Amino acid sequence: MEKADGSGRIIELQIASDLSDPEAALIEREAIDTVTHIYDCLEGDDEAQLVILAISEGKKGKELRDEIGIDQAAFDYIMKRIRKVMFKKYPKGWSS
């Protein structure tokens, strides 16, 4: 799945699954929809959107920070912004 970021660049969203399994296909679709929704909630915050994309690709820790080109303090601040935006949008938590 592809999505344009805030600056118009095309970003590829990938979530692996076994498409021969209908349940796995549904879970993948829901995962893509969730990532897309969170990404859209962060419109205008390119750093936060990059973090969401890296996390959705399974990256974490040093690998994630190195890919984005930030240090731990910057990562912590970006995550704080993400939590703040999502809490404003969903003050009672994410519904399932």
Q: What total number of domains does the chain contain? A: 1
**Is 76 inside any structural domain?**
yes
Would you say 64 and 51 are in contact if contact means Cβ atoms under 8 Å apart?
A: yes
What pTM was computed for the model? 0.68
Task: Supply the range of the domain harboring residue 61.
Answer: 2-89
pLDDT of res. 31: 81
- pLDDT, average across residues 79-87: 95
Angstrom CA distances, 59 to 23, 32, 56, 93, 94, stand at: 24, 16, 7, 24, 22
5-40 pLDDT, tens digit per residue, is 667 777 776 655 555 677 777 777 778 888 899 999
**Is 94 inside any structural domain?**
no
49-74 pLDDT, tens digit per residue, is 999 999 988 899 999 999 899 999 99
